[in-house]
Amino acid sequence: MTHVVTLNAGSSSMKFGLFELTDDDPIMVCTGAVERIGEPEPLVKAKSSDGSVLASGTAGEIRDHAAALDWVLNLLARSFPNSDVTAVGHRVVHGGPEIDAPVPLTKASIQELDKLSPFAPLHQPHNLAGARAAMERFPNADQIACFDTAFHRNHPWENDVFALPREYYDKGVRRYGFHGLSYEFISDHMAKTAPLLHEGRVVVAHLGNGASMCAMIGGRSVGSTMGFSALDGLPMGSRCGQLDPGVVLYLMDQEGLSADEISDLLFRKSGLLGLSGLSNDMRTLEKADTRESRQAISYFTFRIRRELGAMAAILGGIDALVFTGGIGENSRLVRERVCSGMGWLGIELNPDANADNDRIISTDLSRVVVMAIPTNEELVIARAAADLLAKRPRLRTA
Ligand code: AMP
C-alpha cells in the first residue's frame, strides 16, 4: 500500500500524519506531534485511526528538527512496517505573492522559498528544515509543499495592500493572510455537505493557539484578519493581534527594546498569555476565573465580534459563520460570547446545540447558519500530495 507522510514543522514542534493513498480521499492511518523540540523535556504523542495510543509523554533528547523527524519516522516504521511512503507533504507558511497552489519541492525550489524567510522568520526556516530533512530520509519520495498563504492569493487588491509607499508593495510588503490550509478544508467540507451555503457569504473563524478569520464568497477568500505576518488581526495564545505600529516605535525609542526583544514580546509574551498573566491556553483561562483571565477572554471575543462586523460589512451580510480550531471547535463559552447580541446580523445561537458541540449550533430560525466544524489541515496536505502524484506519477527532487 502506498502512503503519504504529512509534516507541519513549527518553531518548536512538528505535527505529522500518515495517510494511505486510495482511489478516493486519502485515509488517515495515524497522526501525532513532537513538541518542545530543543528543550530539556520534549513531548511526544501519536495515535492511530482506531484511537490506540502509539506514543504519549516525554521523550529523550530531541535537539532539532532533524532529530524530531527521526523520531517520527522511527515511530512510523515501527508501528506501520508495511507502509510504502511515496510522497511527503509539507506545510509551508509562506509562498510569497505568486504561489496560489501546492508545488513539488526540489532542492532549487527550497532555496527559492528560503528567500521568503525574512517574511516569516519564526516559521519558514523550520518548515524548510523539515523539508530538507525529509528529502534526506526519503530520497525516493516526492516532496510537496502546501502554503498557508496560497488560499488568499487571489483576494481583492484592497485586501492585499498597506497604505505605504508603493515600493514596499513591490518588495512584497503585502497582506498575505494565513491559516489557508484550514480554510481550504472548511471550504471543501462545505462544498460537499452544504453546497448552497458554500456558494454564499461565509465567515470562518479559525480559533486555536494561532487565530484568524477569513471572509469567503463562493468558497474563495476575499479577506483575512491576518496580514503581512502571523501577528495581525485577532489576539492569539501568545501573539498580540492588531496593534498600532506606533506602539512598536515607542518600544524601540522609549523602552530601548531591540528588534529581537520586540519580536519575542509580540510573538511569545502577548495575546491571552500577556493579558491574563497566566496562560496562553483557553482551557486554563476558562477554569481560572480570575479578573485577568476573564478580561483576556473578553478581549478575545470582543475582537472576534469586531472583525465579524467588519467582514459582514464587506460581504454585504453573511449566510454562515463557521467556528474551527481548538477553541472554535470546543469552547462553548467563546462561541456563546461571540454570538451574543449578534441578532442584528441574523445570528441566533441555539444554547443546547452549542452545549452539545453539535455541527450546527444556530436555531432553525437564525438567518445565519452557525457551525462548528473540526478542521483537518493534514488531510488537505495529503490530498494535495495525492492530486499532484495523480497528475505526475513520479515527481523528482533532484
Ligand atoms: P489548536 O492550536 O487549534 O490546537 O488550539 C489550541 C487551543 O484550543 C488552546 O487554547 C486550547 O485551550 C483550546 N481548547 C482545546 N480544547 C478546548 C476546550 N474543550 N475548551 C476550550 N478551549 C479548548
Write out pLDDT tens, residues 354-374: 999 999 999 999 999 999 999
| Dist CA 178 CA 325 (whole Å) | 13
State the cell numbers at 228.
503581512
Domains with residue ranges and CATH for the chain: 2-147 (3.30.420.40), 194-372 (3.30.420.40)
Burial of residue 270 (CB within 10 Å: 0-12, 13-18, 19+) is: buried
331 lines ligand 1 (CB under 6 A): yes
Burial of residue 249 (CB within 10 Å: 0-12, 13-18, 19+) is: exposed
Q: Which residues are catalytic?
A: 148
> What does the pLDDT read at residue 398?
45
Is 327 annotated in a binding site? The answer is yes
Task: From residue 7, give the alpha-carbon distance in Å to each of 144, 168, 301.
Answer: 10, 32, 31
> What does the pLDDT read at residue 90?
96
Q: Select from 236, 331, 357 the residue to mutate for testing ligand 1; criterion: most ligand atoms less than 8 Å from CB.
A: 331
| Dist CA 30 CA 38 (whole Å) | 24
Is 15 annotated in a binding site? The answer is yes
> What does the pLDDT read at residue 105?
95
Is 329 annotated in a binding site? The answer is yes
What is the DSSP code (8-state) at residue 360? Answer: B
325 lines ligand 1 (CB under 6 A): yes
Write out pLDDT tens, residues 270-300: 999 999 999 999 999 999 989 999 999 999 9
Task: From residue 180, give the alpha-carbon distance in Å to each of 33, 110, 302, 305.
Answer: 20, 20, 23, 21
Q: Select from 183, 283, 286, 334 the residue to mutate for testing ligand 1; criterion: most ligand atoms less than 8 Å from CB.
A: 283
Residue 237 CA: which ligand 1 atom is closest? 10
| Dist CA 376 CA 381 (whole Å) | 9
Q: Which residues pair with 362 in a beta bridge?
A: 349
pTM of the model: 0.94
Is the pLDDT at 43 greater than 90, yes or no? Answer: yes
> What does the pLDDT read at residue 336?
98
Write out pLDDT tens, residues 299-334: 999 999 999 999 999 999 999 999 999 999 999 999
282 lines ligand 1 (CB under 6 A): yes
Is the pLDDT at 18 greater than 90, yes or no? Answer: yes
Is 130 annotated in a binding site? The answer is no
Q: Which residues pair with 90 in a beta bridge?
A: 7, 145
Nearest Cα to Cα of residue 273 among 240, 322, 251, 246 = 240
How much is the mean pLDDT over the chain?
Answer: 94
What residue type is 229 in one-letter code? S
